[in-house]
């Protein structure tokens, strides 16, 4: 059963490039995704491809310029204030860097208490916080500590606990393991998988790391310059990629291991290419299969379960 759906979402920002000049940057353009209950939907793409913006649009943290978000059957752009407020409580986010998302001056107890105050929890705060801490693998001694006294992995567990305290149905995980050591990454990924089963959670898992996404996700979407270029079951997309960009990503990096450096390095070139060919396929300049049609006509995301935006896939 569908939990959340983004329909034709678009978002453009004005980017100031000098004192007098600004340019319009299309961060997300006409993107639609639908996520079922208890599903993990992975979103991959290089830095600046629009995946984090799409995550924020799905949470209604930012209003789209056009398109709509439907959460549990309610269109949030037309919903009453109370309905939006309730939906927001049911949707949470965990950011990449817990150092930036946790207040360094607040003890962990106070940070977590805030989450319960926000969702007007009526029960015993201490009991509830202790039980959630246990669920994320932390002891109650953590409650009297400040963030700087915790390791990176522990801080990310606190961030997860804060999200879970609101009893959400849907969590956007925006690069939740990117700032952590590799050994800790595996622990956090396994914890996320366990929590999903235990609490019946639904995730939108955003990452530049294909191996991480393939490990946790049921379905995956590949984003390129603000658009979805491929979407399908994880196994299909990674074992039989259809879009030349997805193929490039997979073949460029040994053992499906994508480093942040790889994506950052490629982004500048990719962005330029997209701007150079605004009327046709965004991947035109780099694509080994490009034909004249690709220069003049932008391909639509098409297909049944495994969708691709390419004229010649």
Interaction between residue 247 and ligand SF4 (CB under 6 A):
no
Q: Which is nearer to ligand SF4, 55 or 299 (CB)?
A: 299
DSSP 161-174: HHHHHT--SEEEEE
Answer positive or negative: Cα dihedral of 14, 17, 21, 25. negative
Does residue 125 touch ligand SF4 according to CB under 6 A? Answer: no
Judged by CB under 6 A, which stretch of 97-105, 121-129, 140-148, 280-288 contacts ligand SF4? 280-288
CB-nearer residue toward ligand SF4: 27 or 310: 310
Per CB under 6 A, the segment of 88-96, 101-109, 149-157, 289-297 that binds ligand SF4 is 289-297
Residue of the chain from 225, 283, 301, 307 that contacts ligand SF4 (CB under 6 A): 283
Could you give the CA distance from residue 312 to residue 244 in angstroms, rounded to a whole number?
Answer: 10
Look at residues 119, 38, 92 and name the one whose alpha carbon lies nearest to residue 128. 119
Q: How far is the CB of 236 from ligand SF4 (least distance, A)?
A: 18
Tokens 């590949």 belong to residue = 222
- Is residue 228 part of the contact set for ligand SF4 (CB under 6 A)? no
Q: Are 258 and 208 spatial neighbours (Cβ–Cβ below 8 Å)?
A: yes
Residue 294 as a binder of ligand SF4 (CB under 6 A): the answer is: yes
Angle at 25 between CA 23 and CA 27, to 5 degrees: 165
Phi (first) and psi of residue 253, to 5 degrees: -120, 125
Q: Is 299 in the site for ligand SF4 (CB under 6 A)?
A: yes
- Residue selected from 289, 296, 300, 302 as contacting ligand SF4 according to rule CB under 6 A: 289
Compute the distance between CA of residue 200 and CA of residue 16 in angstroms, rounded to an integer: 43
Binding of ligand SF4 at residue 281 (CB under 6 A)?
yes
Binding site for ligand SF4 (CB under 6 A): 244, 281, 283-284, 287, 289-290, 294, 299, 310-312
């Amino acid at each position: 059963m569908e939990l959340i759906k983004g329909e034709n979402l678009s978002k453009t920002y004005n980017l100031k490039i000098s004192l007098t000049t600004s340019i319009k940057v299309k961060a997300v353009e006409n993107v639609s995704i639908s996520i079922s209950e208890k599903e993990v939907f992975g979103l991959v793409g290089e830095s600046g491809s629009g995946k984090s913006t799409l995550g924020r649009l799905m949470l209604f943290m930012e209003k789209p310029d056009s398109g709509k978000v439907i959460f549990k059957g309610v269109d949030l752009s037309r919903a009453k204030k109370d309905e939006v407020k309730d939906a927001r409580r049911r949707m949470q986010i965990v950011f990449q860097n817990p150092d930036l998302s946790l207040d360094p001056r607040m003890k962990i107890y106070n940070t977590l208490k805030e989450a319960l105050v926000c969702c007007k929890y009526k029960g015993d705060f201490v009991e509830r916080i202790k039980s959630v801490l246990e669920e994320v693998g932390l002891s109650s001694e953590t409650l009297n500590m400040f963030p700087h006294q915790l390791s990176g992995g522990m801080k990310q567990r606190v961030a997860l606990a804060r999200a879970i305290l609101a009893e959400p149905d849907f969590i956007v995980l925006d690069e939740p393991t990117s700032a952590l050591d590799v050994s800790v990454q595996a622990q956090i990924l396994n914890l996320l998988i366990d929590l999903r089963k235990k609490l019946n959670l639904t995730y939108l898992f955003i990452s530049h790391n294909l191996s991480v996404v393939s490990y946790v996700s049921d379905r995956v979407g590949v984003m390129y310059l603000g658009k979805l270029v491929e979407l399908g079951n994880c196994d299909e997309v990674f074992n039989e990629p259809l879009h030349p960009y997805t193929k490039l990503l997979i073949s460029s990096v040994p053992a499906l291991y994508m480093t942040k450096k790889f994506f950052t390095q490629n982004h500048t070139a990719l962005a330029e290419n997209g701007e150079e060919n605004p009327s046709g396929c965004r991947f035109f300049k780099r694509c080994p299969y490009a034909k004249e049609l690709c220069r003049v006509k932008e391909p639509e995301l098409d297909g049944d379960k495994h969708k691709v935006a390419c004229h010649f896939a």
